[in-house]
């Protein structure tokens, strides 16, 4: 933990790169200001190869269905971004397999307005989350608490 930041290089999951068509999920809607704030928070806590790691979180649709992931992890978001992995990579954003599968960090290089605009474009417009409010503590009709989303590969 040089300079107190948590070095991520040796913590990255040893997994093959995501396929181009893999769908990524990020709760939104995002703005340039929000992305900048979140990228700075990541850089404050994490480093990569000894340098502050500017990045924002996304989840890949792996091992479980999109609906299961949305219900388990994104039920508080009315709107979500659903880019394919290729949309980010084609714009030069690296997808780092950080944390537990299926979490990834979209790496930024500068997090300046140009790059943040590019990231917003890569994330695409927010869409309605069909699983919004589907994960409840208890309601009159009753629903189960969802399973965790960190399911191991089958």
Footprint on this chain of other proteins (rule: CB under 8 A): 1, 3-6, 11, 26-27, 34, 37-38, 41-42, 44-46, 56-59, 73, 75-77, 98-100, 103, 133, 135-139, 145-146, 148, 150
Q: Please tell me the distance from the alpha carbon of residue 154 to that of residue 3, in angstroms, as a whole number.
A: 39
What distance in Å separates the CA atoms of residue 19 and residue 1, rounded to the nearest whole number? 32
Nearest-approach distance from CB 58 to other proteins, in angstroms: 7
- Three-point CA angle 26, 67, 151, nearest 5°: 85
Task: Report, in Å, the least distance between residue 107 CB and other proteins.
Answer: 14
Structure tokens at 48: 């990569």
What is the C-alpha to C-alpha distance for residues 24 and 17, in angstroms, rounded to an integer? 13
Provide the minimum distance between the beta carbon of 136 and other proteins in the complex, in angstroms, as a whole number: 5
CA distance linking residue 64 with residue 17, whole number of Å? 18
For the chain, how long is the longest CA-to-CA vector? 52
């Amino acid at each position: 933990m040089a300079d107190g930041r948590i070095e991520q290089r040796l913590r990255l999951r040893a997994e093959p790169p995501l396929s181009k068509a893999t769908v990524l999920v990020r709760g939104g809607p995002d703005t340039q200001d929000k992305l900048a704030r979140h990228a700075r928070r990541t850089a404050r806590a994490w480093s990569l190869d000894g340098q502050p790691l500017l990045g924002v979180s996304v989840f890949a649709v792996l091992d479980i269905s999109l609906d299961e992931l949305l219900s388990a992890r994104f039920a508080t978001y009315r709107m979500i971004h659903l880019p394919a992995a290729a949309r980010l990579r084609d714009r030069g954003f690296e997808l780092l397999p950080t944390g537990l599968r299926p979490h990834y960090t979209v790496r930024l290089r500068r997090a300046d307005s140009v790059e943040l605009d590019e990231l917003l474009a890569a994330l695409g417009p927010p869409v309605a989350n069909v699983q919004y409010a589907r994960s409840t503590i208890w309601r009159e009709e009753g629903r189960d608490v969802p399973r965790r989303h960190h399911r191991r590969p089958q």
